[in-house]
Every structure is written in structure tokens, then in C-alpha cells.
Chain A
Amino acid sequence: MAAKQIQFKIVTPEKILYDAMVEGVSFPTVEGEITVLPHHIPILSAVKPGELKIKINGKEEFFHVTSGVLEVDGESITLLTDAAERANEVNEKRAQEAVERAQAIMSEKRHDEEGYIEAVAEMERALSRIRIAKKHRHGGSRASLNDE
């Protein structure tokens, strides 16, 4: 074991998407990006839709995540999220369609508070998917979180 590592898991309602020893993970949280390295203090935080960066064996892997909960308990990192996918697997066309759908619902359900909120959340998710898909379409792993 060359570098210090910490167990990292991405868990969605459908499956455990990712489970490996990593060197560090950067999360998009409601307060901005945070990076968790091994021996991080225990923390609970709310994750918002955006890009997740995993450092593993000196390489970087990118995921798109939607809102969820991040838990670091000193020994492992667990991310509970509604949906997640690898950045290069994001379906840009579908996301674009989702944006349009959400827009339609938003104009339709202006008076339905819940429907509206749901549509806004859907829109936010889709937009963040598009952003990430665009970023990783060219250049792939060269892109990092810093050059936004």
C-alpha cells in the first residue's frame, strides 16, 4: 500500500455503485466542494447534484451524483445518493430532454407547490448532468474540478 487509503462506497437505492479503497474523494456539497482524505474527522454533510471526483492509485475517476448524504466515520466514507453514474456514461441527450420536460412542468404547475419543487429539482439534476457530460466529452480525465 503506497499511499494512505480509505474505504469509499457510493450507495444508491438501486445498488452499491462503487466500493473500493481510495486515496481521496471530492464532493459537491451545498456549501461548496469538500475533499475527504484518509483520517478525515467524522462528518455528515448534504451533497447536491454535481461532479464527484475520486482519486485512486494516482488516477482520477469522475462520477455524476445527485443529492444525497455524505457520511465519514473516520474509517470509511459512505455516500447515500438518489442516483449516480460515471461521468462518461452520462446521457446528455436524455438530460436535455429532462430539462425540457421539467420546464414544461414548471410552467404548467405554477400553482402546485410540490409539483413545482419536484420539477425544479429535476431540472437541477439534469442541468448538472449536462454540465458534466460536456466537460468530459473532450479531454476526459484531464478536466479537473478546479477549472470550472
Chain B
Amino acid sequence: MANSVKDIKRKIKSIRSTRQITKAMELVATSKMKKAVEGAVNLRSYGYLAMNILLKLSKKHQHLHAYLQPREVKNVLVVLFTTDKGLCGGLNTNLFKKLTQTVSKVQQENPTAKLHFVASGRKGAEFMHRSGKEVKMAFPAYSNHPKFSDIFPMSKVALKGFEKGDYDKVIVIYPDFVSTLTQKPVTKTLLPFSPDVFSEMMQELGSKFTKIAAPSEKDADYKLEPSPEYIVTNIVPQLVEVQLFQAVLESTASEHSARMVAMQNATKAANDLLGDLVLTYNQARQASITAEIAEIAASTAVLS
């Protein structure tokens, strides 16, 4: 009896300290999440409006920039955004699923295409290694206050690679932050940008996109100053980089909110478990006391 009381006590202690950790992680994630979500949401209007401009340029001036021209797909670059650390619920697992889906879709569309992979986040890189995919480059996850300049190394790989002809298509997969409770993995074609890509995006993102940047029905005939060439060469790369940055911010926001929810659940589970254990412990303790009293009473009865 005494043994099991001791066991339960040890268990309670260990769960208490685990709860302390999950609680602390929850608080950390909460404060990080607030900032990350704010950043992602704020960039949205910029990012979506930028997409709108890209759409207009791609309709009229497709021939002016390589980024706007679809070409025969021989090499595809897939960029996957995941987290460095775990303990964030099903976030990464869902992204892996999306990756597998996307890969088979690409292979269906272009059976001869060769796939290249770039991972942001350790978990993504590990998954790619496990599933036998060749990882070209692995970047850390930009979990803490990503800056625009943080993505330059990655955007260089993607954009320059596309320009040089190393890749004919660049796809990014990232968790889109829908709400604290929901993060939806999305696939987005970064390059080349075309009206098809845009409508694909609209479907994936749904109403929150149209709310900010509703595409106008009529096609205004834009005058481009100083010259269409100048505008396209100077602005298109920047707008594309913003799309990539958007993906980074969305994944950061998703990571922290997913972790916060996961830790909240863990803390709650620890509380439930503790309640049960404390009850069992008290029962066991009570039982042992009762047994002891019974023994004493019995021995006095014998003596007298």
C-alpha cells in the first residue's frame, strides 16, 4: 500500500512540473503569437494589393518579364515552410500531407519534370530527408520577428534560379493563418505569375482576400510611367518578394498560434490528470490511515 502511495506522489510531482513547462510555453507562444499575427495581418493588405498589380501587369505586359511568362516545365522548385521546433500540434504534419499532395499533383501535370526542394524550418528538412527527397537548401524557420531582409537568401535562390532557367516553376507551401484555432496549409505558385495562379489563390484564400483586394471586373488600360519596361523590371521582383515574405509571416503566425493551442490543451490535460491522481492519492492515504487505526484498535483489544 505504502509503495503505491509513494508512486502516485511521484507521478503527481512529475505531472506538476510538466504542467509548469507547458503553461510557460503557452504564455511565451501567446505573446509571440500576438506580434506575429499582427505582422501577418498587416502585411496582407500590402501583399494582396501587390498581387492585384501583378495580375494587371501579367495580363497586359506578359512578354516584358520572365516572371510573368509561363514556360515548359522541366524543373520545379518546391519551397516548404515549417517550424524548427515541434510541440505545435498537427501543424507540420498537415504541411507534410500538403507537400505529398502537391508533389503528386505536379508529377501528374508534368510527368517529366524534375523536382527540387528547399526547406525553411528543421522539421520540413527532416521530413524531406526521411521521404527520400533531395533537399537543395535548408533554411531555419524565421520564427522570431522576421524582417524583410531575412528572406533575401531564399528569394535569391528562387528568383535567380528562375531567371537563369534552373527552375521553370516555383511553388511555395506554407500554413495560411486563418485563425488561432485554424491554420490551413496552402500551395501557391510563386513564379511564373499568371492570371490562372491568381484565380487559384482566390480559391485558396477565399473571402479574406476579396475583402481587401477585390479584383475589378473591368480591365483598365494602364498607362505605365516612365515606361512599361521600367515598371516591370523594377516592380515585379519586389512584388514577388513580398509574396514570399507574406508566406514567412503567415507561417510564423501559424506556428505560434498552433503552439499556443497545443500547449493550452496540454496544460488542460495535465490538470485533468492531476485531479484524478490527487483523488486516488487521497483515497490511498485514507485507506492506509484507516488500516493503521484498525490495527491499533485490534492490538489494544488483544492487550486489554
A residues whose Cβ falls under 8 Å from a Cβ of B: 11-16, 29-31, 34, 41-46, 69, 71, 73-74, 78, 80
Contacts and interface: CB of A to CB of B under 8 A. Distances in A.
Given A13-B42, A13-B43, A46 B231 contact: yes
Contacts of B242: 13
B52 to A, nearest CB: 8
B53 A16 contact: no
Nearest to A114: B152
Contact of A80 (B50, B57, B231): B50
A44 to B, nearest CB: 5
Interface residues of B, number: 27
Contacts of A74: 220
A44 B224 contact: yes
B53 A69 contact: yes
Contacts of B3: none
B1 to A, nearest CB: 64
B49 A13 contact: no
Contact of A31 (B43, B225, B234, B245): B225
26 contacts: A11-B45, A11-B46, A11-B49, A13-B42, A13-B43, A14-B42, A16-B45, A29-B225, A31-B226, A34-B225, A43-B223, A43-B224, A44-B56, A44-B222, A44-B224, A45-B226, A45-B231, A46-B230, A46-B234, A46-B235, A69-B235, A69-B238, A69-B239, A71-B49, A73-B220, A80-B49
- 5 nearest interchain CB pairs? A42-B220, A45-B225, A43-B223, A31-B226, A42-B222
B96 to A, nearest CB: 30
Given A12-B46, A13-B42, A43-B223, 7 more contacts: A13-B148, A42-B222, A44-B56, A44-B222, A69-B50, A73-B222, A80-B46
A29 B221 CA distance: 20
Nearest to B246: A13
A15 B42 contact: yes
Interface of B: 39, 42-43, 45-46, 49-50, 53, 56-57, 148, 216, 220-226, 230-231, 234-235, 238-239, 242, 245
B234 to A, nearest CB: 6
Contacts of B50: 69, 80
A44 B46 contact: no
B205 to A, nearest CB: 18
B225 A80 contact: no
A73 B230 contact: no
A30 B49 contact: no
A73 B231 contact: no
A41 B234 CA distance: 22
A16 B222 CA distance: 24
A13 B46 contact: yes
Contacts of B56: 44
Contacts of A15: 42
A73 B216 CA distance: 9
Contacts of A44: 53, 56-57, 222-225, 231, 235
A80 to B, nearest CB: 6
A29 B230 CA distance: 12
Contacts of B46: 11-13, 80
A41 B224 CA distance: 11
A105 B245 CA distance: 25
